[in-house]
Amino acid sequence: MKIEVNFNINYRRILMLVGVGIMLVALAMFAVDISRQENLNHYPGHPLGGDYMQFWACARLVVLHIAEGAYQMEWLTRMIATVNLSYADHTHGISVLNNPLYYPPVYLLYLAPFGYLPYFASFLTFFVSTAALYFVGLGQLCRGQRWLLVLMLGFAGVWLNLVSGQNGLLTAGLLALGLAWLPRHATVAGIFFGLMCFKPHLGMLIPFALLAGREWRAFFFAAVTVIGLVFYSLAVFGPDVWFLSTIGSQFAVKVLAEAAYLWKRMPTLYALLRLQGFDFSVALTAQILLGVLTSVAVMWVWAKSRNGRLRGLALAAGMLLATPFAYDYDYAILGICFVLLVQEGLAGEKGPLWYPLERLGLALAFVWPVLINRIGGLTYGLTGIYSQVGFVMPLFLLLFAMRRVQAAAKVAEKPAATLEQAA
């Protein structure tokens, strides 16, 4: 018995060192990237921080009381050019940023404080603050297993958001906090869920899960939070900005339909089918069908089980699976799945209980956000066809959750059947 305990302690220490080691490597690579820049205020080619340059430009425009500029390329071009002079020429520069903001004006409320800082300081502050939110959320889910939190310092989804300058950690952090608070304080959980409304394409399963799980209070306060944010943004920015935001939404649909170079970064069934040559209507129909089936599966888990870990696992995986518009950086949500499945596996009454493929799935999930594009490149090299199969991981994780719920239901039925036979 003593040897087994020591093995477990050493095993956890090794995993903690792995997390810290990957974190240090990621930071070292980031520092090397910085050292190669000629000037922190004038980036040649694609800027350090990637897509965050657009977020910063939108934040600056809000500070300057030109919020409508977030949805007008003329204003965005001027603001981005203050940092990257090459961007002033639209025929060159950063093609990935040649679009208005996709997100609704609610997101401008979140970005506004970062507009008071110069670009590089704003970028680092945004990453640190969203990463802190993410790890606070994971910490709430990891109660009793703090070593998991240290391991997650090496999770690929964290550092992908640093490189891409994106908001995946913000989305995942709010989701983690909502799931963590739901069993303890449904009102607070509902508020966290409602704050995710800046990404409606990812949060669309949340109300269905809450209703299926009879979480009426959380559903109510999530709805109140969304309505409150919409009206507050209307009061701050005015209806014209909300009208202009439809331009960003239309552009997002155009990107989904036409931007083949971005499908490679979209780990969705829709992107896979488009890359294989299927037309827009066929790919979207298949994605909608998958979304409906995913919604039914998530609702089944929430209706059938009161296990918060399995509920969270199903919802987080389902969110990534149901939408046609997800990018690799959104797979920071996969970290929630990883933490919850590890916790569930270690919570067996007679010690750790793992079902077939679960431990392999966990190992792959930990590095999956960076494998997504590598697998596509590998298939292209072998077959000449780029295959985006990133959605397979959340599919397996959802199936893992359903299998555990079904197994728990069968165990619960056995005592009832025994009592009936005895009677």
Among 235-249, 297-311, 319-333, 342-356, which is the least confidently predicted range?
A: 342-356
What would the mean pLDDT of 349-375 be, rounded to a whole number? Answer: 87
- pLDDT > 50? residue 4: no
Per-residue pLDDT band at 374 (split at 50, 70, 90): confident
Residues 123, 43 contacting (CB under 8 angstroms): no
Per-residue pLDDT band at 418 (split at 50, 70, 90): low
The residue ranges of every structural domain in the chain are: 2-39+48-402
What pLDDT shows up at residue 93?
Answer: 40
Percent of the chain exceeding pLDDT 90 equals: 63
According to the per-residue pLDDT averaged within each range, which of 58-62, 164-168, 351-355 is highest?
A: 58-62
**Residue found under tokens 């694609």:** 46
Pure H helices in 142-205: 146-151, 156-164, 168-181, 186-194, 200-203
Mean pLDDT computed over every residue of the chain: 87
Pure H helices in 347-391: 358-383
End-to-end CA distance of the chain: 41
Per-residue pLDDT band at 9 (split at 50, 70, 90): low
Give the integer Cα–Cα distance in Å for 297 and 344.
19
Find the Cα–Cα–Cα–Cα dihedral 227, 233, 239, 242, rounded to 10°: -80
Per-residue pLDDT band at 107 (split at 50, 70, 90): very high
4: left (phi over 0), alpha (psi -120 to 50) or beta: alpha
- pLDDT > 60? residue 413: yes
What would the mean pLDDT of 259-284 be, rounded to a whole number? Answer: 92
Among 54-58, 80-84, 200-204, 294-298, which is the least confidently predicted range?
A: 80-84
List CB contacts of 274: < 8 A, sequence separation 6 or more. 260, 263, 280, 283
Give the integer Cα–Cα distance in Å for 286 and 292.
10
- pLDDT > 50? residue 3: no
Which residue type sits at 378?
Answer: L
Element counts in the chain: helices (H) and strands (E): 20, 0
Give the integer Cα–Cα distance in Å for 309 and 186.
16
Residues 208, 61 contacting (CB under 8 angstroms): no
Tell me the per-residue pLDDT of 222-234, one tens digit each, with 9 for 90 and over. 999 999 999 999 9
Q: Is 39 helix (H, G, I), strand (E, B) or coil?
A: strand
* pTM for the whole structure: 0.91
Per-residue pLDDT band at 144 (split at 50, 70, 90): confident
What would the mean pLDDT of 313-338 be, rounded to a whole number? Answer: 96
What pLDDT shows up at residue 84?
Answer: 66
Alpha-carbon Rg for the chain in angstroms:
22
Give the integer Cα–Cα distance in Å for 325 and 319.
11
What pLDDT shows up at residue 97?
Answer: 60
Distances 1 to 6, 41, 292 between C-alpha atoms, Å = 9, 60, 48
Helix %, strand %, coil % for the chain, to 5? 75, 0, 20
- pLDDT > 90? residue 94: no
Q: What is the DSSP string of 238-301?
A: -HHHHHHHHHHHHHHHHHHHH-HHHHTT--SHHHHHHHTT--HHHHHHHHHHHHHHHHHHHHHH
Tell me the per-residue pLDDT of 15-28, one tens digit each, with 9 for 90 and over. 788 888 888 887 88
What pLDDT shows up at residue 42?
Answer: 46
Per-residue pLDDT band at 161 (split at 50, 70, 90): very high
